[in-house]
């Protein structure tokens, strides 16, 4: 039996029954890393020594007859933009190449407290800016389903690692789709919680009003178990919220659940193969007794434009901290201004600099009202449109991304085309809603993702609906040939 | 913009960015067609309110202090060293 191919739930049961140990689970994952990492390139840093200690601690607990937590003793990866005390965390950027984390991000600390075994830190687009993981300063991650294709991004390393069974689950961060889109491309499950459910403390900031840590796992239940470990209010993040934890189990029955299907999510730009699989999933929901309702979201088409003003604006201000003074690389210059300009010019990558310059422009005094001010108002309109929609339906479904995984290098010279990959996912960030991507079939051998969006803090409904589809289709059980 | 953003570009990058960013700005300009008369702006996804804590000094662990200082590119007597902010005329 390949232990690394189990789900968290199966592994948890096996640990409780003494069928295998946490150290054995870890070794099985490390075997997969050893065999496939050269080809896939999912990790930037392996933390196997610490992982071994964590696995041994879990095994001692089991031997002592103590109650085992849901993710205790389970090998998990974290995205390399979350602080991991005592380890180099780069955010995929040259400017942080030698940055040694001073403390643990709250989500990472909570994983440790839950007894998880942290095996390593995964590759990402530099500072999480991208949709293909090609913007990493260190390496390109490949899609385990076809190594000529990208894994999606920015949490591409996390999604590829889970897809290739190098770990049982991983943390990602989602600012415009960075958990859901790579999950869709790699045939795994990605959950972006409601803004505020998970603390952002220690997450290297990209766009603070949009960023949210999410979970990438092999199925819906595992994604929920991961979220249970990391959610909750945190005094270090004033936007975190005190709410009921998500459920650990979901009823398979979805009779009477009202599912909204916005026609705006099926317009031009949607690949016909993706459309077919998503429509098939909607038929399945109907067969399971859900009530399908067509929905009009008139302003959905503006969400991406709102995003591409608000996000770079916040990026330009968040990235001001990389000045070569307190941490990170520093370049020489004849005065302080030159030091700043050289440091940032040389050590920030092409996409990061592009977004800072765009954001500096949209926030500059002559343009603030026309761009940033207007985008914030359209954001209100979009948010209200969703609030009203959720008075009519329990959740909203559509494709996660307009296409399946594209080829490496295909879009690097065309940023706007690359940005369009987030067209269906950004709404959830703009409005602050939870979103789930689950596999709903294959098109020409590549996984297709279905997105289920829910009302504020109602992750339970989208998980329940996703779980019901997963139970009848079992696409999550399909594995790439490595 | 380069100076405002404190980023030095090469002439080649400058040309590339001008082209690419005009395309992006053309795209986001579609927001001009939305009627925003009387709409309040949204700054945050959650209903944000001020969160206060007592103004107490919280100690920082010694190993954390050391790690913070170790991360600095240049130091002098446990202070960050930078070029002078005000230049002599």
CA A177 to chain CA mean position, Å: 7
**B9/A contact by beta carbon, under 8 A:** yes
- Least CB–CB distance from A380: residue in B23, B42, B74: B42
Quote the CA–CA distance of A312 and A310 in Å, as a whole number.
6
Domain-embedded: residue A383: no
Helix, strand or coil for residue A76? strand
> Which of A21, A154, A16, A124 shows the shortest CA–CA distance to A75?
A21
Q: How many structural domains does chain A have?
A: 1
Q: Count other C-beta atoms under 10 Å from residue A172's C-beta.
A: 33
Catalytic residues of A: 79, 154, 178
Which of B42, B44, B83, B89 to substitute to test the interface with A, most A CBs within 10 Å? B42
In the numeric block, which tokens belong to residue A267?
């317009």
Query: Please, are residues A450 and A395 in contact by the beta-carbon 8 Å criterion?
Result: no
CA A189 to chain CA mean position, Å: 10
Q: Which are the contacts of B38, defined by CB distance < 8 A and separation ≥ 6?
A: none
Domain-embedded: residue A182: yes
What CATH number is attached to the domain comprising A199? 3.90.1300.10
- Least CB–CB distance from B17: residue in A241, A330, A357: A357
Which of A193, A239, A352, A357 to substitute to test the interface with B, most B CBs within 10 Å? A357
Q: Which of the 8 DSSP states describes residue B38?
A: T
**B40/A contact by beta carbon, under 8 A:** yes
Residue of A nearest to B44 (CA): A209
**B68/A contact by beta carbon, under 8 A:** yes
3-state SS track over A183-218: HHHHCCEEEECCCCCECCCCECCCCCCCCEEEEEEC
Domain-embedded: residue A441: no
Helix, strand or coil for residue A444? coil
Domain-embedded: residue A315: no
In the numeric block, which tokens belong to residue A410?
């295909």
**ipTM score assigned to the predicted complex:** 0.93
Phi, psi of B29 (to 5 degrees): -65, -10
Sort strands A291-295 and A169-174 into parallel, antiparallel or unpaired: unpaired
Between chain A and chain B, the number of residue pairs with CB atoms below 8 A apart is 167
Domain-embedded: residue A432: no
pLDDT tens digits in sequence order for chain A, 482 residues long: 799 999 999 999 999 999 999 999 999 999 999 999 999 999 999 999 999 999 999 999 999 999 999 999 999 999 999 999 999 999 999 999 999 999 999 999 999 999 999 999 999 999 999 999 999 999 999 999 999 999 999 999 999 999 999 999 999 999 999 999 999 999 999 999 999 999 999 999 999 999 999 999 999 999 999 999 999 999 999 999 999 999 999 998 999 999 999 999 998 899 999 999 999 999 999 999 999 999 999 999 999 999 999 999 999 999 999 999 999 999 999 999 999 999 999 999 999 999 999 999 999 999 999 999 999 999 999 999 999 999 999 999 999 999 999 999 998 888 888 888 999 999 999 999 999 999 999 999 999 999 999 999 999 999 999 999 999 999 999 999 98
Alpha helix (H) residue ranges in B29-77: 62-70
pLDDT per residue as tens digits for the range B31-50: 999 999 999 999 877 766 78
In the numeric block, which tokens belong to residue A382?
């979009």
Q: Which are the contacts of A471, defined by CB distance < 8 A and separation ≥ 6?
A: A252
Task: Supply the pLDDT for residue A8.
Answer: 98
Task: Supply the pLDDT for residue A157.
Answer: 98
Domain-embedded: residue A354: no
Using the predicted structure, report yes or no on whether residue B61 has a pLDDT greater than 90: no
Using the predicted structure, report yes or no on whether residue B89 has a pLDDT greater than 70: no
A213: domain range? 3-255+461-477
- Least CB–CB distance from A239: residue in B20, B48, B72: B48
Strand order in the sheet with A117-122: A43-46, A117-122, A75-79, A169-174, A212-217, A189-192, A435-443, A446-454, A395-399, A258-262, A291-295
In the numeric block, which tokens belong to residue A320?
């001001």
3-state SS track over A394-438: CEEEEECCCCCCCECCCCCCCHHHHHHHHCCCHHHHHHCCCEEEE
On the 0-12 / 13-18 / 19+ scale of CB atoms within 10 A, A146 is middle
Domain-embedded: residue A395: no
Q: Quick check: B73 and A329 CB within 8 A?
A: yes
Q: Quick check: A360 and B1 CB within 8 A?
A: yes
Domain-embedded: residue A273: no
């Amino acid at each position: 039996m390949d232990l690394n191919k189990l789900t968290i739930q199966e592994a948890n049961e096996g640990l409780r029954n003494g069928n295998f140990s946490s150290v054995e689970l870890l070794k099985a994952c490390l075997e997969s890393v050893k065999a496939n990492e050269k080809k896939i390139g999912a990790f930037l840093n392996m933390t196997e020594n610490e992982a071994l200690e964590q696995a041994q601690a879990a095994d001692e607990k089991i031997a002592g007859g103590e109650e085992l937590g849901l993710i205790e003793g389970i090998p998990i990866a974290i995205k390399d933009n979350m602080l991991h005390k005592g380890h180099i965390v780069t955010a995929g950027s040259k400017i942080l190449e030698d940055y040694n984390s001073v403390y643990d991000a709250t989500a990472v600390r909570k994983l440790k407290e839950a007894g998880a075994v942290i095996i390593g830190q995964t590759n990402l687009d530099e500072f999480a800016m991208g949709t293909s993981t090609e913007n990493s300063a260190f390496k390109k991650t490949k899609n385990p389903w076809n190594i000529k294709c990208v894994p999606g991004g920015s949490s591409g390393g996390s999604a590829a690692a889970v897809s290739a069974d190098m770990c049982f689950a991983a943390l990602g961060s989602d600012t415009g789709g960075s958990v859901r889109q790579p999950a869709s491309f790699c045939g795994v499950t990605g959950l972006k919680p409601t803004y505020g459910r998970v603390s952002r403390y220690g997450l290297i900031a990209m766009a603070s009003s949009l960023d949210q840590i999410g979970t990438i796992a092999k199925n819906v239940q595992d994604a929920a178990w991961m979220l249970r470990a990391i959610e909750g209010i945190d005094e270090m993040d004033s936007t975190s919220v005190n709410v009921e934890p998500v459920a650990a189990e979901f009823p398979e029955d979805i009779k009477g659940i009202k599912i909204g299907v916005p026609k705006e999510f099926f317009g031009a730009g949607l690949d016909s193969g993706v459309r077919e699989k998503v429509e098939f999933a909607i038929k399945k929901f109907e067969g399971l007794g859900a009530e399908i309702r067509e929905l009009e979201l008139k302003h959905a088409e503006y969400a991406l434009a709102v995003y591409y003003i608000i996000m770079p604006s916040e990026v330009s201000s968040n990235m001001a901290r990389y000045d070569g003074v307190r941490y990170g690389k520093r370049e020489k210059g004849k005065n302080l201004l030159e030091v700043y300009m050289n440091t940032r010019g040389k050590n920030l990558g092409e996409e990061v600099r592009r977004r800072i310059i765009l954001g500096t422009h949209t926030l500059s005094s002559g343009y603030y009202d026309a761009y940033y001010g207007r985008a914030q108002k359209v954001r209100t309109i979009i948010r209200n449109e969703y609030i009203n929609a959720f008075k009519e339906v329990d959740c909203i479904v559509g494709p996660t991304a307009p296409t399946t995984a594209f080829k490496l290098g295909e879009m690097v010279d065309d940023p706007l085309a690359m940005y369009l990959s987030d067209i269906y996912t950004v709404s959830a960030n703009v409005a602050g809603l939870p979103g789930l991507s689950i596999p709903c079939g294959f098109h020409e051998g590549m996984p297709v993702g279905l997105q289920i969006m829910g009302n504020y803090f109602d992750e339970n409904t989208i998980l329940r609906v996703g779980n019901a589809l997963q139970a009848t289709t079992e696409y999550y059980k399909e594995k790439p040939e490595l | 913009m380069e100076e405002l953003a404190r980023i030095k570009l090469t002439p080649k990058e400058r040309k590339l960015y001008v082209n690419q960013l005009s395309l992006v700005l053309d795209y986001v300009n579609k927001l001009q067609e939305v009627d925003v008369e009387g709409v309040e702006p949204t700054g945050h996804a959650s209903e944000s309110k001020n969160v206060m804590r007592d103004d107490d000094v919280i100690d920082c662990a010694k190993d954390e202090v050391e790690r913070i200082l170790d991360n600095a590119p240049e130091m002098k007597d446990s202070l960050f060293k930078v070029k002078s902010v005000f230049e002599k005329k």
